[in-house]
Amino acid sequence: MADIEQFKQTLKRKPADYIPVAELGVHPLIKAQIIGRPIRTLQDDISFWYDAGYDYIKLQPKADFNPDKLFLQDNTNTTINADGSVARRWATEGRGIITDWASFERYRFPETSDFDYSDFESVRPLLPEGMGVVGQYGDIFTMVWELMGFEQFSLALYDNPALIEALFNKIGGLVLSMFEYFAQNETVDVLWYSDDIAYLSGPMLSPKVLRRYFFPWLQKIGDLARAARKPLIYHTDGLLYPVMEDIIAAGVDALHPIEPKAMDLGEVKQRYGDRLCLIGNVDVDLLARGTPAEIRAIVKKNIELAGQTSGYCIGSGNSIPEYVPVQNYLAMLQAARDFGRIS
């Protein structure tokens, strides 16, 4: 049975009866295998999250930041073709769409009135007892550099910082409006912001640059969550030690996914576990190519490292893509149930 209050307790590092499972994304093809039918409706999606053992359904507003389809990567990086195959998109590395003030002025941004919250308005009566809602969106930083292309973005940090500032203000204001909705809407129990800022080796930009352009927006989201008394989860891959204090200071309650190739779960728990709930750390490569026994072993180990009291949720080290064998995904979920009771 779902229990959103147990999930919220865990995110706030308060005593809970069990260690929840949490995931930022699960591919629709995996979801379909779990419930035995394609995910076509909101009710189908609810059925997946509930049947898989989550305490929540994760919802996003329907939004299109790229109405003219001018740059390569949108909020998801894969699409399902009509024949069931998967197509992938890749980020713009060189020169993007917005490179100067003229192209900034020409670009057609959405309006806040374009965002569709209909799933949030209709979900509550459909939820099983005890199940909650996570409101999720992100990518202020990511959308800015993708619109410019990473090389052009990097040059503009020195050559045209005013354009960088304008793009952050434009994208940031639009995304922040979504979190204002999440914070104010009684349907939403938890806020989840996602935006990758680091590689395996460290932050993608210097902490000084991130503090100038990115962290003020995370702080605004954190302030909204704090005022609404709703937990805030933040997703970013990579090695985060140089900016971990910035993440905590912004008001983040829980950090996802503690990418295993970048940071050691036990070390992160020891250094920050009194101030951050930790989520994830089951390597996606292991989920894709390992055995169910190996996956059970790492779930058990992670619980021993980070979940003996509270403040840890089991999940992948990123998300569940379509190439993860469903039996391996199910092995992780079952291991969470088998080892996740808190005595």
pLDDT value at position 194?
A: 98
Q: How many CA atoms lie within 13 A of 45 on its CB side?
A: 17
pLDDT value at position 70?
A: 61
String of b and e for 112-131 (b: at least 16 CB within 10 Å)?
eeebebebbeebeeebeeeb
pLDDT value at position 266?
A: 97
pLDDT value at position 151?
A: 93
pLDDT value at position 74?
A: 39
CATH topology of domain 4-339: TIM Barrel (3.20.20)
pLDDT value at position 90?
A: 52
Residues 312, 318, 322, 327: is their CA dihedral positive or negative?
negative
Instruction: Tell how far CA 38 is from the center of its chain.
Output: 23
pLDDT value at position 309?
A: 80
pLDDT value at position 83?
A: 46
What is the Cα–Cα distance from 185 to 202, expressed in whole angstroms? 36
Compute mean pLDDT per 10 residues along the chain, 343 residues long, and list them. 96 96 97 97 98 98 82 46 51 74 94 97 97 98 94 95 98 98 98 98 97 98 98 98 98 98 97 97 98 98 91 97 97 97 78
